[in-house]
Amino acid sequence: MRYRPATADDTQAIATLHAESWRATYRGAYSDEFLDGNVHENRMEVWGARLTAPDRSQFVVVAEDEGRIVGFACAYGARDPEFGTLLDNIHVRGEGHRRGIGTGLVRAVAAWCRRNYPECGLYLWVLEQNTNAQRFYARLGATDRGGGITEPPDGGLIKTRRYAWSLLSDVAPSSG
């Protein structure tokens, strides 16, 4: 597995993976009309903008397996005065789950944070219904810091949970 910073050339692959991940994971939270309709166009627009004119605090990393993008993560440094850097997106192809790809992506983001925002913690928002992801983040050392509400791209309101690491040294510790 190779982890590297994303480039504008990765827009299509990241948008496609993001749309596929949402279709598989966010049923019942996002509308079927959106997931079965223009989710890919929506993600192309978002990732086109993010990768051609990145925010100066943005970091996007991809996981490649034999030249194919199988996962990605996107973080924004020092976004919250209390919780620190926002891990805004992390998605892995379904067949890549439980292969260490997500852990590798979180570790890559944490390494970037240690270099660029060492005084900050790391946090993310996860859909309340996504209990598999919540267990994953807890295994990587994050703790549940309470709930919130978010508005998905297709409208409505969804319950979320904030998972956070107070110290970057606590992010995805190696076992053994």
Does the pLDDT at position 174 exceed 70?
A: no
Average pLDDT, the chain: 94
pLDDT number for residue 50: 97
- Structure confidence at residue 96 as a pLDDT band (50, 70, 90): confident
Based on the number of CB atoms within 10 Å of its own CB, is 16 exposed (0-12), middle (13-18) or buried (19 or more)?
middle
Indicate if the pLDDT at residue 45 is higher than 60. Answer: yes
Q: Which CATH number fits domain 2-121: 3.40.50.2300, 3.20.20.150, 3.30.470.20, 3.40.630.30?
A: 3.40.630.30
Q: Would you state the structure tokens that stand for residue 4, as one six-digit string?
A: 């590297």
Tell me, yes or no, if the pTM score tops 0.85: yes
